[in-house]
Chains A and B, each alone.
Chain A
Amino acid sequence: MSNIVEARALTKTYGSLKALDGINLTIPTGAISGLIGPNGAGKTTALKALIGLCDVEGELNVAGMDPRAARHKLMEDVCFIADVGILPKWFKVSQLIDYVEGVHPKFDRIKTGEFLSTTDIPANKRIKELSKGMVTQLHLALVMAIDVKLLVLDEPTLGLDIIYRKEFYDRLLNDYYDGDRTIVISTHQVEEIEALLTHLNFINNGEIVLSAMMTDLADIYTEVVVDPEQIAQADALNPIHIRELLGKKSYTFESVPKAQLQPLGEIYTPSVADLFVAKMKDSRHE
Chain B
Amino acid sequence: MNKFHLLQFHALLQREILEHRNMFIMAPAILAGLILLFSVWAMTRMGQDTVSISIEYMALLFDGLSPLEMAPMFMIPAIPFIGIFYFCAIIYLMNSLYQDRQELSILFWQSMPVSNLNTVLSKLVTIGMVAPLFYIATMFALYVIALFWLAILGWSYDIEVAGLGYMFLAAVVSLIFVYLSIVTTALWLLPTIGWVVLFSAFAKRTPILWAIGVFILVGFLEEFIFGTQFLGNFVQSRSTPTQYLILDFQDVVERLINYDMLFGIMVGSILLAGAVYMRRFID
Contacts and interface: CB of A to CB of B under 8 A. Distances in A.
Contacts of B105: 86-89
B108 A88 contact: yes
A91 B118 CA distance: 20
Interface string B225-261: 0000000000000000000000000000000000000
B282 A48 contact: yes
Contacts of A75: 110-114
A49 B275 CA distance: 20
B113 A80 contact: no
Given A89-B103, A102-B10, A102-B11, A53 B110 contact: yes
9 pairs of A and B residues whose beta carbons are closest in the complex: A102-B11, A80-B111, A75-B113, A72-B115, A86-B107, A76-B113, A88-B105, A82-B107, A55-B281
Interface string A85-128: 11111110001001111111100000000000000000000000
Interface string B270-283: 00000000001111
B269 to A, nearest CB: 20
A187 to B, nearest CB: 17
> Interface extent on B, as a size class?
20 to 34
B19 A88 contact: yes
A71 interface: yes
Interface in A63-84: 68, 71-76, 79-82
Interface of B: 4, 7-8, 10-12, 14-15, 18-19, 100, 103-105, 107-116, 118, 280-283
B8 A102 contact: yes
B11 A80 contact: no
23 contacts: A14-B283, A51-B110, A53-B110, A53-B281, A53-B282, A54-B282, A55-B281, A71-B280, A72-B114, A72-B116, A72-B118, A75-B110, A76-B113, A80-B107, A82-B107, A85-B104, A88-B103, A100-B112, A101-B11, A102-B7, A102-B11, A102-B14, A103-B8
Contacts of A86: 104-105, 107-108
Nearest to A70: B115
Contact of A99 (B14, B100, B111, B280): B14
Nearest to B281: A55
Given A55-B283, A102-B8, A103-B8, A90 B19 contact: yes
Contacts of B100: 88
Nearest to B21: A90
A85 B105 CA distance: 8
Nearest to B109: A88
Nearest to A96: B108
A54 B18 contact: no
A82 B10 CA distance: 26
B107 A103 contact: no
A15 to B, nearest CB: 12
A102 B14 CA distance: 10
Interface residues of A, number: 36
A81 B107 CA distance: 8
A55 to B, nearest CB: 4
A71 B282 contact: no
A103 B15 CA distance: 11
Contacts of B10: 102
A48 B113 contact: no
Nearest to B11: A102
A147 B19 CA distance: 27
Contact of B113 (A73, A98, A99): A73
Nearest to A72: B115
A88 B11 CA distance: 15
A221 to B, nearest CB: 34
Nearest to B10: A102
Contact of B12 (A76, A100, A103): A103
B113 A104 contact: yes
A272 to B, nearest CB: 27
A52 B109 CA distance: 13
Nearest to B22: A90
Interface in A176-215: none
A51 B4 contact: no
Nearest to A148: B113
Contact of B11 (A12, A71, A103): A103
A61 B185 CA distance: 44
A8 B4 CA distance: 35
Nearest to B117: A72
Contacts of B108: 82, 86-88
